[in-house]
Amino acid sequence: MSRTSPPALTASPTSEEEAAQSSFDYAYVNLLHERIMTRGDSALRANYLHGVLHAARLASVLGIPAISALEFGVAGGRGLLALERASEYAGDAFGVSIDVYGFDSGRGLPKPTDFRDCPNLFLEGQFPLDEARLASRLERAQLILGLVDETVSTFMEREPAPVGFVSFDLDLYSSTVSALRVFTGRAEFSLPRVQCYFDDITGFTYADHNGERLAISEFNAANALRKISPIYAAEFYVPRSESQELWVRKLYMAHILDHARYNDYDGLVRREAAGAGGAWSLT
């Protein structure tokens, strides 16, 4: 697969980057996002790059050297390839190691159980995975195959690097309920706030009483100190060129309220008293 090189780092920021870093880290992350996307790397997806850049930024500020980025629902594999590539750029930009994992049954969708799984939209066996073909294209990402109800628990027992970004694209309510258990383990299993992308929440017949929205609502009701919330008005905080894209309406954040570092200063709003510290730059 033909690929461009990851972004190179320089020792000091340009005047444009200094201005972007002046008060909110959103501006700087957006600058990185735009520069990476304009490289013409066809493997990239803007939504994954956004989430992983923010995850890597938070890990860097907190001094966490390695994180994990997950995709639930691999299917054809283009998303996992995009996540792998985004993690290379984000990890290089912020000096953070990022492990990438893709979860899939390997046999397409399980059979929908009831109305909550939107059987009017989905059929058993849809979106199968060609494991051999995808494995030959992946460079670092790891495939975790099997029903997510079983593989999530096994994955958590492995104690991977803290989870910083998760894409949920399992289509079914029942599978999403299982995947959300990734946020129910020990607090240190993730960053204090985790960037999330939920693919199946807009249009079609998705509603509050079915699919991913219902799974999120039930998760929040069942967990007093773990909450998943939309990133409200996200269109005003992403790069201007992306503000009208549908993916922006699908951004959420998992809040691990009992995380020992949840209240630590995270650099998103800059404090002059904290000092400028190191600076990241893309050339």
Q: What is the CA radius of gyration of the chain?
A: 18
| pLDDT of res. 23 | 64
Residue ranges per structural domain of the chain: 15-273
Percent of the chain with pLDDT over 90: 81
User: What is the rounded average pLDDT of the residues 143-169?
Assistant: 95
CATH code for the domain defined by 15-273: 3.40.50.150
- Chain segment 170-190, per-residue pLDDT in tens: 999 999 999 999 999 999 999
Q: What's the CA dihedral at 191, 44, 249, 93 to 10 degrees?
A: 40
Residue with more model confidence, 158 or 5: 158
Q: What is the mean pLDDT of the chain?
A: 90
At residue 269 the predicted structure's pLDDT band, cuts being 50, 70 and 90, is confident
At residue 276 the predicted structure's pLDDT band, cuts being 50, 70 and 90, is very low
| pLDDT of res. 15 | 53
Helix ranges restricted to H, the chain: 15-20, 25-37, 46-62, 78-94, 131-135, 148-157, 173-179, 211-222
pTM (whole model) above 0.85: yes
